[in-house]
Amino acid sequence: MTVTSATQTGYTQPTNKTTATKATSAYESVAPTTTQQTDQNTEIQKKEEPTKATTEVQNDTKEQLTTQQELEIKQQAAQTMSETEESPLATAIQESSQTQNVEETKATGKLAEMQEKYKDIYTPIPETYSKADEELQAQKISEAYPNYPFGSAFLELVNSFYDGEPIIPGNGIMQEQSNGITQEQKEKQEVAYQKAYDLFGGEDAYKKMQKDVQAIKEQYPFNEWAKQGYADNSKELARFKNAAIYEGLERGLSLESATKVARNAEYMFMDTSYASKMLDDKLIKAGRMSPAPEGGRETVKTEVNFDHPNNGTMDLRAYGIDGAWNTNEVIENQKGMLQEIEKKISQFNFMLNNKELIKEAIMKLPADARGLMNNEGYESWINEELLPRMQVGYEVFSKYQIYDN
In tens, the pLDDT along 164-218 reads 887 654 444 444 444 457 889 889 999 999 999 999 999 999 999 999 999 999 9
Q: How many CB atoms lie within 10 A of CB 63?
A: 9
Specify if 17 maps to a domain. no
Residue 341 CA, distance from chain mean position: 11
Specify if 308 maps to a domain. no
Residue 312 burial (10 A CB sphere; 0-12, 13-18, 19+): middle
CB 363 within 8 A of CB 370: yes
pLDDT digit string (tens) for 105-163? Answer: 444 589 999 999 999 999 999 999 999 999 999 999 999 999 999 988 999 999 999 99
Q: Where are the alpha helices (DSSP H) in 23-118?
A: 40-48, 67-79, 88-107, 110-117
Q: How many CB atoms lie within 10 A of CB 204?
A: 10
Classify the C-alpha dihedral 123-128-134-136 as positive or negative. negative
Specify if 144 maps to a domain. yes
CB 357 within 8 A of CB 54: no
Q: What is the pTM of this model?
A: 0.68
CB 28 within 8 A of CB 342: yes
Specify if 358 maps to a domain. yes
Long-range CB contacts for residues 321-325, cutoff 8 Å, separation at least 24:
321/347, 321/350, 321/351, 325/351, 325/378
Domain coverage including residue 214: 130-165+182-222
Specify if 31 maps to a domain. no
How many distinct structural domains can be found in the chain?
2
**Residue 346 confidence (pLDDT):** 97
pLDDT digit string (tens) for 284-309? Answer: 777 766 665 554 444 445 678 888 88
Distance of alpha carbon 219 from alpha carbon 229, whole angstroms:
23
Name the percent of the chain in helix, strand, coil, to the closest 5.
55, 5, 45
Specify if 156 maps to a domain. yes
Q: Which of 173, 207, 222 is the last residue of a domain?
A: 222
Closest CA to 335 of 241, 404, 238, 392: 404
Q: How many CB atoms lie within 10 A of CB 142?
A: 13
Specify if 188 maps to a domain. yes
**Residue 293 confidence (pLDDT):** 54
Distance of alpha carbon 339 from alpha carbon 227, whole angstroms:
32
Of 292 and 387, the structure prediction assigns the larger pLDDT to 387
